[in-house]
Amino acid sequence: MRSHTWTTTEPGRLDRAVKSALECSNNQARKAIRTGKVAVDGARQLDPGFTTAAGSRVVLDMAAPNPARTEPFGLKLVHRDDWLIVVEKPAGLLSTPTGREESETALHGARMLAGDGRAVKVVHRLDKETSGLMVFARGVPATRALRQTIDGGRLRRLYHCVVDGAPEQTEGLVSSMLVRDTGGGYRGSRRGTLKVRPRTLPDPGPMPGSGKLAITRYRTVARDDDHTALEVKLSTGRTHQIRIHLAELGCPVRGERVYARSKSAPRQALHAGRLSLPHPETGEMLTFQSPWPADLTDIGPTGRDWRASSR
């Protein structure tokens, strides 16, 4: 059997649906899923425990390539040259090891995609549950150049997200002094430092006292009764910055579990959709874009064109 298509009649685990439809063993069903042979509603699904909805269209294609070879850990290669590797990171994958000797991270996958044994270095990170574009440096000169690019504010990042509710203003510049512990064991803005200004103003400077300056710009793309799709641009890259700022504005990212209790999405609805930077050797401006992910297609208004301008 080369291919098989069917529609599920009730919600349930994907591996059980595959086993039932093909009359195969548990191991055979799970192997087919993990090796990239199964798609649900047009999107390849690698998790045997994924829950399918009633009416989902499931396609088994035994000729589909094994992503373990072409897309290690679900990582997709976007660009590769002697200086850079740009990838799309899936949600659920750590950017780098946390110290517990994880062997499956975006860094490990980028090293596999490099293929030549040359050092691959981290220059920025995405949260584990955030999907989208990441850039890695190849070799020491590239690492130094990219870190200078980041320190100089020339690495431009645009994120797409869907939030619960809506910000009070349809667009704005959010700034605050972020601290590691606001008193409850969580990161957040130091009391009295959260400010919202017109989005077109220049970046503000830091405020006196503890914390690190964080600057986030947002723009409303689409709305419905309960949710809002935003484009978010970073001037700084603090840990959890977008999630913290939007939660503190009262419109947390859908699926947020730490800074708000939003359980209305399978994971946080945050995606790094655009990345621009000067090439470290030539200075040519490179721009990469990543579409809104399939697993978040039905999460609120997605502003289907997701205009990627940073106006």
Residues involved in catalysis: 127
Contacts of 210 (CB under 8 A, 6+ apart): 177, 179, 190
How many other CB atoms sit within 10 Å of the CB of residue 131?
27
Residue type, 66: N
Contact yes or no for 96/106 (Cβ under 8 A) = yes
Query: Which DSSP symbol is given to 72?
Result: G
Dist CA 99 CA 117 (whole Å) = 22
Dist CA 295 CA 288 (whole Å) = 21
Alpha helices in the chain (DSSP H): 14-22, 26-34, 67-70, 106-114, 140-151, 241-248
Q: Is 55 helix (H, G, I), strand (E, B) or coil?
A: coil
Query: Which DSSP symbol is given to 300?
Result: S
Half-sphere exposure of 211 (CA within 13 A, CB side): 24
Dist CA 124 CA 304 (whole Å) = 28
Dist CA 179 CA 212 (whole Å) = 7
- DSSP conformation letters of 251-281: -PBTT--SSS---SSSS--EEEEEEEEE-TT
How many other CB atoms sit within 10 Å of the CB of residue 16?
14
Dist CA 300 CA 81 (whole Å) = 37
